[in-house]
Structure 1
Amino acid sequence: QHEDKFLSSFRKLGLDGLPDAVACAKYHVLSNGVGGVAVEYMEESDTKAWVRFRYPRWMYDGAVICGVPVEASRGFLRGWYGQNGVSLGNPRLGFVCVSEDMTGQFGLCGYFREYDHDLTKDERLVFAPDERPPPFDPAKQPEPPPGEWNAERLAKANRNYAVEYIRNGVRELVNVLGRERALELCHLAARLTGLQHYRHMAEAVGGRDGGPEEAAGFLAAMFAGMGDDCRVDSIDDGAVLHQTGLRIARGLEGAERDTLLSCWIEIWRGAVHSQRMFMDVDCSVSETGLVWRITGSSR
């Protein structure tokens, strides 16, 4: 994700021309901010600028954070924060982490620093748990360029932020574990996510617990929020939802597309199964979209 998005987003956020340490800190504040993640910015100098993530920690909200190993956080730090200098062609730029979520300190916090010498690979990310950030001044918090980032664009960016986490997470899990084991884990996690979050999602789109037609209406509302086109047809024993556009799989082909969609389907199967009425959910995949058939359960 870093390699795909960093430099292009860097320019879109109006950060060209700033000192590298300052620009990187502002990038992480802004890019996370449009995704709904609260991050504070504190600048000490042109060569030292801080970021501090505030709680709750986005997708680690609630007790979920207790189950995340510190290795996951550190892998993220190495792959994102420790890589910024390399991406910018600045071998002197590194990240100093002073606090982590998974160690029970005060949340993810650290600073980008431009040194007076080139850094080795192991020096791009270092830890300094005894340091503390300077006071936060909300008047100095960066904001996206107002002329380019209207409300509609910010809303789409907020959606796409979460979408990229799903796409990249599934891809990398397949790379590490292989497709069969990755799908086993992803399918269960996706279904549990749908089961657990159905009520919150339904409240957001005016959905209500009911039968196949209500379930199809809920799915159509959620998919419309993704920018997809949906049509719901009533049938004798339930409802059929035709979904085209598939923002979640845009730009993907072949096995990667099939893998992602199989996980995506399980989220919504879980959401439907969270309702009081027992329902069967069948979904067929084509080149143009998905067709969902929702009926009362025969079991």
Structure 2
Amino acid sequence: MSDRAAWEAVGDWHHAWFTGIVLTAVSRRGSRDAAELVFRIFRRQQQATFMSGLKKLGLDGLPPAVAAARYHYLSNFIGGVGVEYVEESPTKAWIRYPPPRWIWPGATICGIPSEVNPAMLRGWHANNGVMLGRLGLGFVCTGQTVDGDPGLEGYYIEHDRDLPPEERLRFARGERMPRFDPATAPRLPAADWPAERIAKAKRGYAMEYCRTALQEAVALFGPMEGGHLLGLAARLVAMQLFHETAAALGTAERGFAAFLRAMFAASGDTATVSEGEDGLTVTIMDLALLRGIAHPHDAMVVAWSDLLAGALAAHDRFARIERTGPLAWRISA
């Protein structure tokens, strides 16, 4: 099992959990609450990563519309997201996310209400001009996959006047992005972005969305209700993906302890899994998903531990998991 394959498996695992969190919010709390959660997640992500990302990608000296569109193209490319780019002028640049959509994989897109997808655009795309200090920069959405259009697409355009908040995102479904030519698209410097770094970044991309969702769900819905929503999504996704993920990690025939060790290692966690006569003892010294959260609420840990509970249920429905410390669990048959 290569590191890259393991990172890929962990990235897919967290990707599914993030999508599951949104779908659980839709089905349990309704489209309005789900849209607010998505808005908050993407706004927090933007504030945490956009400006530093521009510098890392060498885009901070470009015209605002071009810089914003190229950022989305390159950062999503690194994250394994399908994306296209067309630059019409220094003040107008398109991006398009063709199907299949990364964020709503497979049939899950059928469960996303129309009002949830624009929340992502309001949270991030409409706020890039504010972050750049160029209030004339807005985003025009010309199509949404959740509405049956052949992709989520739109363009950044810089106006010769400041835009009030309500004009920073608008919709124009009659327009269409020109045909994408990969030969003219921006490229990552190969020396700075070898395949191994991209694979690791792809894992981090999915994990970062889960980290943000933990914080925003607890902040928006409260520790009890938000934690329950996060944990339910974790348990369901882990049950669904356990066998697939174990096979991807090369642990399908090696038992649950091997699965946990492989998951922890590939996730960047510092943890031990000890086997004894009465079962397994899991102790985590450093949980990667909580890094960067100043004061993580215990509800976040409980929700994350439902990933373990869901995986265990799929592995052996008679086995039991019990929390024995802040970051410690006992698993018994």
TM-score for both structures, normalised by structure 1: 0.91
CA shift at 1:276, angstroms? 4.5
Alignment map for 1:94-243 (pairs within 5 Å): 94-208=138-252, 214-243=255-284
What is the DSSP-based 3-state SS (H/G/I as helix, E as strand, rest coil) of the residue aligned with 1:60?
coil
Partner residue of 2:124?
80
CA shift at 1:92, angstroms? 1.0
CA distance in structure 1 between the aligned counterparts of 2:292 and 2:68, rounded to whole angstroms: 27
CA shift at 1:116, angstroms? 1.9
Partner residue of 1:293?
330
Partner residue of 2:56?
12
Segments of structure 2 that go 5 or more residues without pairing to the other structure are 1-44
Give the aligned length: 289
Choose from 115, 118, 121 the match for 1:71. Answer: 115
Structure 2 vs 1, CA of residues 40 and 204 (structure 1 numbering), >3 Å: closer, same or farther?
A: same
Q: Report if the CA contact (8 A) 1:216-1:241 is conserved.
A: no
What is the DSSP-based 3-state SS (H/G/I as helix, E as strand, rest coil) of the residue aligned with 1:133?
coil
Segments of structure 1 that go 5 or more residues without pairing to the other structure are none
TM-score for both structures, normalised by structure 2: 0.82
- State the AA in 2 paired with 1:263: A
Q: Report if the CA contact (8 A) 2:99-2:150 is conserved.
A: no
What is the DSSP-based 3-state SS (H/G/I as helix, E as strand, rest coil) of the residue aligned with 2:147?
coil
What is the DSSP-based 3-state SS (H/G/I as helix, E as strand, rest coil) of the residue aligned with 2:145?
coil
Deviations 1:106-158 (A, max 9, x none): 12110111112211111110000011111110112222232322333222211
* Structure with greater contact order relative to length (CA < 8 Å, sep ≥ 6): 2
Partner residue of 2:293?
252
Does residue 309 of structure 2 align to residue 265 of structure 1? no
Q: Report if the CA contact (8 A) 2:239-2:313 is conserved.
A: yes
Identity of aligned residues (%): 45
Higher fraction of helix:
2
CA distance in structure 1 between the aligned counterparts of 2:122 and 2:90, rounded to whole angstroms: 23
Q: Report if the CA contact (8 A) 1:91-1:118 is conserved.
A: yes
CA distance in structure 1 between the aligned counterparts of 2:125 and 2:103, rounded to whole angstroms: 19
What is the DSSP-based 3-state SS (H/G/I as helix, E as strand, rest coil) of the residue aligned with 1:112?
strand
What is the DSSP-based 3-state SS (H/G/I as helix, E as strand, rest coil) of the residue aligned with 1:174?
helix
Structure 2 vs 1, CA of residues 284 and 83 (structure 1 numbering), >3 Å: closer, same or farther?
A: farther
What is the DSSP-based 3-state SS (H/G/I as helix, E as strand, rest coil) of the residue aligned with 2:65?
helix
Coordinate RMSD, CA, aligned:
1.7
Structure 2 vs 1, CA of residues 251 and 21 (structure 1 numbering), >3 Å: closer, same or farther?
A: same
Partner residue of 1:283?
323
Partner residue of 1:22?
66
Deviations 1:181-206 (A, max 9, x none): 11121111110010111122112101
